[in-house]
Structure 1
Amino acid sequence: MAPGGRLSIRILIAEDQAMVLGALAALLSTEHDLEVTGQARDGAEALSLLETAQPDVVLSDIEMPNMTGLELAAEIRRQKRAAKVIILTTFARPGYLRRALEAGVSGYLLKDSPAATLAAAIRRVYAGGRSIDPDLAAEAWTEQDLLTERERQVLRLAGEGSSSADIALKLSLSEGTVRNYLSEAISKLGAANRVDAARIARQRGWL
């Protein structure tokens, strides 16, 4: 029986790789006190499933189309949902963990963690605790994120190949403003151009 007297802890999984999504669902379903009530291919779909899945814990990847795991966590917090968020990712990057903590996540695990570790983390988070790798947590605060949120948005789109005009349209900005944001980001990162800046920022976990 799950903590709190219910029969099981309800879990919503957000993962854009179908094989990984299915494997996670099958793996967690073998635990007597865990129940997968929803599966989503991106953050936006996960957000739309919150009402029907009624999860206690949302298990989410970071990099997904339409809405990232970090954006999903931030939106769940903004909506004051009861669901706790655990990030499950391949990225052992302090920048990602720092942004995840700022978004209000309760757990941050790597995909190569043992199955028992994942199940234990879900139970711990459900009970009100946290499950974050201590070494990675310590590193998360040693390197400052130089980018503003708007610079991050603009640089992410530039890294995906969008032109300044496309970025301006998507973010409701002028092209001149977009160029200014890109110039600032390139300067802060010591990059050669917008593509190089996006690469550096992604390596540091800032995008």
Structure 2
Amino acid sequence: MTIRLLLADDQALVRGALAALLDLEPDLEVVAEVERGDEVLDAARASGADVCLLDIEMPGADGITAAAQLHAALPEVHSLIVTTFGRPGYLRRALEAGASGFVVKDTPARALAEAVRRVHAGLRVVDPSLATESLVSGASPLTERERDVLAVALAGGTVAAIAGQLNLSPGTVRNHLSAAIGKTNTSTRAEAARVAQERGWL
């Protein structure tokens, strides 16, 4: 039986290389390629994909959001995160969103093909070093609102700008920033946002 694959990555070169490698496997066939996270669900429906290989950082929607959409709308379609960004927080969030696996892009081609087969069979596949790091670092301490505020703070906006973008009062934004700074053990909102991003919490 052939396993039908969808590849989602905003870098055409990476997508092409993955497609070429996976198409060499006799039981794997790439049936769709997209460059945006918000195109994944429609493309999966249209192509009849069995497994979707998703990058994390893409325009439109990130791979974790795409995995959640697939899990909700097409539960029979499995998703495998294939990313350069091997951050423990990303791993935890991806699995919570319904992804069946998480591997990094420097995984050897044969191991990636085997990961696809295992995910298709209903098994969970996780990069072992990331799994260990995720257990050691623990879950994100940030609330959803604190994550939202830090994500906007990454762009360097003022408290008023963050408040306007998120429809919050400046006082509420300051409270969330203060809590996030404490939880990340940093001293400024810029540092807190950077640490949270590095750990995959955003």
TM-score by length of 1: 0.87
Q: Is the 8 A contact 2:89 2:134 kept in 1?
A: yes
- Structure 1, unmatched stretches of 5+, are 3-7
1:109, distance to aligned residue in structure 2 (A): 0.8
Tell me which of 182, 186, 200 is aligned to 2:195: 200
Aligned to 1:81: 75
| Distance verdict in 2 for CA 1:176–1:37, change over 3 Å | farther
Distance 1:173 1:184 in 2: 16
After superposition, where does 1:137-152 map in structure 2 within 5 Å?
137-144=131-138, 145-152=140-147
Amino acid at match of 1:135: S
1:66, distance to aligned residue in structure 2 (A): 2.4
- Matched position secondary structure for 1:108: strand
Distance 2:110 2:74 in 1: 29
Aligned to 2:105: 111
Distance 2:133 2:22 in 1: 29
Distance 2:71 2:151 in 1: 23
Amino acid at match of 2:189: R
- Matched position secondary structure for 2:136: coil
- Matched position secondary structure for 1:66: coil
Distance 1:45 1:73 in 2: 12
Q: Is the 8 A contact 2:44 2:52 kept in 1?
A: no
Aligned to 1:10: 4
Aligned to 2:156: 161
May I ask how many residue pairs the two structures share in their alignment? 201
State the identity as a percent: 52
After superposition, where does 1:66-77 map in structure 2 within 5 Å?
66-77=60-71
1:34, distance to aligned residue in structure 2 (A): 1.3
RMSD of equivalent CA atoms: 1.9
Aligned to 2:116: 122
Tell me which of 19, 32, 35 is aligned to 1:38: 32
After superposition, where does 1:80-99 map in structure 2 within 5 Å?
80-99=74-93
| Distance verdict in 2 for CA 1:163–1:19, change over 3 Å | farther
1:85, distance to aligned residue in structure 2 (A): 0.9
Amino acid at match of 2:58: M
Deviations 1:112-165 (A, max 9, x none): 111001111111111111221233213312223111122112211211334444
Distance 2:130 2:44 in 1: 29
Distance 1:196 1:9 in 2: 44
- Structure 2, unmatched stretches of 5+, are none
Amino acid at match of 2:107: S
Q: Is the 8 A contact 1:16 1:40 kept in 2?
A: yes
1:86, distance to aligned residue in structure 2 (A): 0.5
Aligned to 2:56: 62
- Matched position secondary structure for 2:43: helix
